[in-house]
Amino acid sequence: MGERQRLDKLLGNSGYGSRKEIRNLIRQRRVTVDGDVISNPGIHVEPGVSKIRIDDIEAVYRKYIYIMMNKPGGVISATYDKRHETIIDLLPDEFRSFDVFPAGRLDIDTEGLVLLTNDGQLAHEILSPRKHIPKTYYVHVNGRVIDKDKEAFAEGIVLDDGYRCLPAELEIIESSEVSEVNLTIYEGKFHQVKRMFESLGKEVVYLKRISMGGLKLDPRLGPGKCREITDKELNALKKNS
Ligand code: URA
């Protein structure tokens, strides 16, 4: 079932604690592999084949993890930053031993759906410009958004650098001094949503991603909160990517 891996790494990547915690478990003689008590955290085991037990309970090997987060404003969607809090800083302890990274980034002031995973293949497919995965944003825009804007988005907005965007779908929820809309785009250029509205002479004042492919942000997740996605959600995401 794949390449041999260090025991401490495999247990860490399966969610059994930090490397340090796992080494402690091993030092305390609480871990067995194929019935033998292990004292060396660096021994190599075969994922899914070697029978690993912690306190005599079988350890389940997990390769991938998929977490949806409701990113709050002011937080960077990167794994490390010198100055700002990152989405990794917001992860609860139970997810920390997995080497997750964000599959797609949001601006620091943008809120909403970010998928964190250690599945490079799926992340690649979601991010591939050729796949045109739909992403829907809930947006507050300064000024009235009108039906003519809808047509402009459907035809393809031309950005400040001359790039013509793929057709996008604008749904007007409320048109007023600060309008409320949903916008679905099929690509992910730098600051794309903000720049699309700028091209129409309008300013985005609030931006939140609410879906990506078949995955919808759980409305019960408060800002900064996260949870693993269900198998059903994962299948919906994979179908779209
Ligand atoms: N478009 C933007 O302008 N910003 C984001 O964070 C995402 C899409």
- For a ligand 1 pocket test, name from 207, 208, 209, 217 the mutation site with the most ligand atoms within 8 angstroms of its C-beta: 207
- pLDDT number for residue 2: 61
Angstrom distance (rounded) from CA 25 to CA 2: 25
Q: Is any atom of ligand 1 closer than 6 Å to the C-beta of 207? A: yes
Angstrom distance (rounded) from CA 237 to CA 31: 36
What's the CA-to-centroid distance between 144 and ligand 1, angstroms? 20
Pairing of strands 44-45, 52-54: unpaired
* pTM, 2 dp: 0.87
- pLDDT number for residue 240: 75
DSSP symbol at 220: T
Cα distance between the two ends of the chain: 25
- Distant-in-sequence contacts of 49-58, Cβ < 8 A, 24+ apart: 49/1, 52/7, 52/10, 52/11, 54/11, 54/16, 54/25, 54/30, 55/30, 56/32
Q: Is any atom of ligand 1 closer than 6 Å to the C-beta of 192? A: yes
What's the CA-to-centroid distance between 20 and ligand 1, angstroms? 38
Angstrom distance (rounded) from CA 99 to CA 160: 37
pLDDT tens, the chain, 241 aa long: 568 999 998 998 888 888 899 999 999 999 999 999 999 999 999 988 999 999 999 998 888 999 999 999 999 999 999 999 999 999 998 888 788 999 999 999 999 999 999 999 999 999 998 999 999 999 999 999 999 999 999 999 999 999 999 999 999 999 999 999 999 999 999 999 999 999 999 999 999 999 999 999 999 999 999 999 999 999 999 987 7
What's the CA-to-centroid distance between 209 and ligand 1, angstroms? 8
- pLDDT number for residue 216: 97
List active site positions: 107
- pLDDT number for residue 72: 98
Alpha helices for the chain (secondary structure H): 7-13, 19-27, 120-127, 147-155, 192-199, 231-240
* Full DSSP string of 193-216: HHHHHHHTT-EEEEEEEEEETTEE
Q: Kindly report the protein residue whose alpha carbon is nearest to atom 4 of ligand 1.
A: 191
Q: Is any atom of ligand 1 closer than 6 Å to the C-beta of 187? A: no
Atom of ligand 1 nearest to the CA of 196: 3
- pLDDT number for residue 44: 96
